[in-house]
Structure 1
């Protein structure tokens, strides 16, 4: 049976969901974006920066870039449009990586750098972890958007033909 690569779909869904979420975040001014909110990271800006920098960390590992933990040595981006653009670029890197996957690539091990030292992880374990990480923290951003008085956007109308969001169609080619 031929390998069917599900990861490009997950990566494009991820890009779509982030684009929609950043569209909603665009309704906030800088003060509202950085204002204290409930959640792990205490503000929408901190939550969205966390998503972005964890993406950078795992993309670097997947691409074997060698940056490791230094991807976290950055100032947070506190302007919605600028962070949205950076996230979109990271999302397309992830989609590009996923588009090239074959069955053998999923068992390949790459180095992840941890505070305790280097650790090998299978590509096939990193991919679902990264997707789940995104979903988890976008859920927190939904709560934070509600707290800010913004209606959280629908993010799950992507895969099925039934009720697929019009914008999602652009990611299906």
Structure 2
């Protein structure tokens, strides 16, 4: 269903989007970032933390690297401050990009098996479906953050994929 080039493009897009989010967050006070906005995860910062947590958990499944200690219910509190989030986000985006750049077509075939804490059971899904979900999950939650940033009066990131710089910098 997908090719390594798709993964690289989406990893670059993810990093480019998060670079813009870090800049947008710098324009808001911590109070504004933590303000309850009636979104699924509450605030801009809580949603950003959940998104980072999701990337960490999926990457641990894809590359066998470290996973977050907290479960999904604690994902909104993953990092204590926007500055810590920004550093962790940068490192995660670099990890995703390195992983994607190292993929071969054969890596995108077969099944992924894991225990889902959210569902409380073992799951088996095709790896390509899981990777598409991973990138879709990022876009979904960044869309929520985009709406909250706009409502807060901040300049939200440019999100159109065709506008992404061809030669970076993505991080």
Partner SS, residue 79 of structure 2: coil
1:105 paired with 2:107, answer: yes
Partner Cα distance (2:78, 2:69) in 1: 14
Partner Cα distance (1:19, 1:169) in 2: 11
Q: Is the 8 A contact 1:45 1:77 kept in 2?
A: no
Structure 1 residue 21 displacement after superposition: 1.3
In structure 1, the gaps of 5 or more residues are: none
Partner SS, residue 122 of structure 2: strand
Structure 1 residue 110 displacement after superposition: 2.6
1:60 is matched with: 60
Q: 1:71 to 1:58 in 2, by over 3 A?
A: farther
Partner Cα distance (2:83, 2:126) in 1: 34
Partner Cα distance (2:7, 2:30) in 1: 34
Structure 1 residue 164 displacement after superposition: 4.8
Partner SS, residue 77 of structure 1: coil
So what's the TM-score if we normalise by structure 2? 0.83
1:125 is matched with: 129
Structure 1 residue 78 displacement after superposition: 4.0
Structure 1 residue 154 displacement after superposition: 1.0
Cα shift readout 1:123-156 (whole Å, capped 9, x = no counterpart): 2111111111111111100111122121212122
Equivalent residues, number:
164
1:170 paired with 2:161, answer: no
Partner SS, residue 169 of structure 1: coil
Q: 1:119 to 1:112 in 2, by over 3 A?
A: same
1:77 is matched with: 79
2:22 is matched with: 22
1:145 is matched with: 149
Q: 1:4 to 1:90 in 2, by over 3 A?
A: closer
